[in-house]
A and B are shown apart, each in its own frame.
Chain A
Amino acid sequence: AQSVSQHNHHVILSEAASLELGCNYSYGGTVNLFWYVQYPGQHLQLLLKYFSGDPLVKGIKGFEAEFIKSKFSFNLRKPSVQWSDTAEYFCAVTSPGTYKYIFGTGTRLKVLA
């Protein structure tokens, strides 16, 4: 069965620090990968997604993620975080055509002003 691991449960950074949130999945076949963000009091929003092609994908608000197939990873990065990036971040995986997402447990990011 597919599963998604997000090893960082809580991350605290100062503004302008660089961010990398880990996401590893377990599935040997073709996958589609997503990062969602949930700002305090708001609904989940799609940050970025990977289906195929360039393994480095860019999303909204300066976020990017790199798909490394050999490591089964899809880590989220941002070179310089802002206070407004404080949120919970979820990685998700699905197989093409199945539509059912498997979500990770989430990472709570707190950015100190």
Chain B
Amino acid sequence: DGGITQSPKYLFRKEGQNVTLSCEQNLNHDAMYWYRQDPGQGLRLIYYSQIVNDFQKGDIAEGYSVSREKKESFPLTVTSAQKNPTAFYLCATHFTGTENYGYTFGSGTRLTVV
């Protein structure tokens, strides 16, 4: 089955801890994205990567870091510098180079700071 796997589904973080959210895809999509979803604010772009070993900051990158060492994987680290990390995090992928625009979304990770 082709798709995006985000893990874990639920994650609890203590104040001051870094945590890493996993996003793996077997769709052979070039581009990968991390969005944060908060009630009433829609989806806001954190980071994105269009090719391996390259990524760009989105609109709310502060307190987050990413890597793109493999085409299939785009992990997101929520650092202790992120002041309000409790949110729903969505990974999305996209096949570039064609007119077939449209993201494929993962099922998300809900992060809660305790």
Contact = CB atoms under 8 A, between A and B. Distances in A.
B90 A44 contact: yes
A71 interface: no
B103 A46 contact: yes
B42 A46 contact: no
B27 to A, nearest CB: 14
A100 B48 contact: yes
B31 to A, nearest CB: 6
Contacts of A106: 40, 42
Interface stretch (B18-26, B60-68, B94-102): B94-102
B38 to A, nearest CB: 9
Interface size of A as a range: 20 to 34
Nearest to A102: B45
Interface string B27-53: 000010101000011111100101000
Interface in B60-114: 90, 92, 94, 96, 99, 101-103, 105-108
Interface residues of B, number: 24
Interface string A3-31: 01010010000000000000000000000
By CB atoms of chain B within 10 A, which of A34, A49, A99, A104 has the most?
A99
Interface string A47-73: 001010000000000000000000000
Contacts of B108: 43
Contacts of A44: 90, 92, 103, 105
Contacts of B105: 36, 43-45
Nearest to A101: B103
Contacts of A43: 90, 105-108
Contacts of B31: 99
Interface of B: 31, 33, 35, 40-45, 48, 50, 58, 90, 92, 94, 96, 99, 101-103, 105-108
